[in-house]
Structures are given as C-alpha cells and as structure tokens.
Amino acid sequence: MPKVAYSEEDRERVRAELLSAGLSLMARQGIQHTTVEQIYKAAGISRTFFYSFFSTKEDLIVEALYLQQPRILAYVEQLMQDPALDWRGAVETFLQHCCYGEEHGIVVLTIEEQQQLFRRLSEESYQTFRIRQQRLFGQILEGFGIQADTDRIRLFTNLSLTVMILRRAIPDTLPLFVPEAADETVRVQIRAIVDLLQTFRDQPLPSR
C-alpha cells in the first residue's frame, strides 16, 4: 500500500485531533488508564504516525493540559455571567466541578500521575509548565474579580490543587482517610477556600 502524503494542514488537523482525543480520554478515565493506543485509534491513525507528532505520551499530556487552559478560563467566565449564580455560587461551582473533573470533562492529575509525569519532563519543560500554571491560576483569580499577585496566586494554586488531589486520592492512595466522608470533606474545603477568596476580593492590593 503506498504511503499517504500529508500536507502541513493535514498534519495540523491530525495533531489537533490527537490532543482533543487525549484530553477527552484523560478527563473521563484518568491519565494512568489512558493509553497511547486509545489516543491514536480515536484519531484514526497508526502508532508509528502518532510518534511523528509526540515523542512520548508525556509530551502529549503536557500539551493537552495546555489546550485545557483556555477552556477552563472560558468556563470561569461562563459561570461568572450565569444569572442563576451569585459570586460565591459561581466560584464554588467551579471548584466543585474541578474536583469531580471526570464528570465535567476536566483533567485533574492524581498524586501518582503528577509524580510520573514530572519525573519524565526536562527541566526546561518543567519550568515552562510552572510559568503557564501560575499564569492560569492568576487569570482564574482575575476572572473571579480578584486582584492577583504572586503570593495570592501561589496560595490559591496550592489550596485548589490540594482539595482536587485529595478527592482523587481517597481511598486508593490515602487508605487511612475515611471514604464515606470524602464528599463532605471536599465541600468543607471548598467553602474554606471561597471564604479566603472573599477576603481577597474585599481587600484590593496596595498600589505600588
């Protein structure tokens, strides 16, 4: 069978399909349970052709996470403009949906997935990811109508990721936690985060 010649436009389309398929699969079933085979078959290409786009599964994961970022920001904007939600309701809904990302098409990494991914990233890729992550969380805060500085962004990032990861870790990774109280634990933690964000919202940063 003759080889198919792909134009640059075709390659861009296939690349976009791989990222979209990977993001959808990872949101639904987690990164650990998403295989390269599932991704390239969803895009209708071969394994060999997949590796002409991405050297490793981890390379695709990082780019898929970048693809998710503007979607997250659009979702923040949608919630903030929803007339059925007040400010607090919009922020709580956003955090709740992130914690249960598999139900809402949002990829959230488990502890093990974070460890596996970042062990395989180069130092340059890791630093780029950190920069883009900080920018994302800063934009989320601004989407909530909160002035953001480095300290606020860092704290919000850690608090948000803690509750998301904790929810995913009970009981498999954290077997001594009580699974029956996991959902209520998430709700309490989200309320506490929103309380903090309310104080940020009420206290503008000092002008420099």
Q: pLDDT for 64-92, tens place per residue?
A: 999 999 999 999 999 999 999 999 999 99
Convert the pLDDT of each residue in 119-163 to its tens digit. 888 899 999 999 999 999 999 999 999 999 999 999 999 999 999
- Rounded distance, CA 182 to CA 171, Å? 9
User: Can you tell me the distance from the alpha carbon of 78 to that of 40, in angstroms, rounded to the nearest whole number?
Assistant: 32
Residues 118, 104, 75, CA angle at the centre, nearest 5°? 90
Q: How far apart are CA 7 and CA 186, in angstroms?
A: 48
Q: Which amino acid is at 119?
A: R
Question: Binning pLDDT at 50, 70 and 90, where does residue 176 land?
Answer: very high
Measured distance CA(27)–CA(23) in Å, rounded: 6
Q: What digits encode the pLDDT tens for the residues 98-123?
A: 999 989 999 999 999 999 888 888 89
- What's 8-202's CATH class? mainly alpha
Reported as a single tens digit per residue, the pLDDT across 36-56 is 999 999 999 999 999 999 999
Nearest-angstrom CA–CA distance, 133 and 118: 14
pLDDT score at 206 = 80
Please state, in angstroms and rounded to a whole number, the distance separating the CA atoms of residues 161 and 179: 19
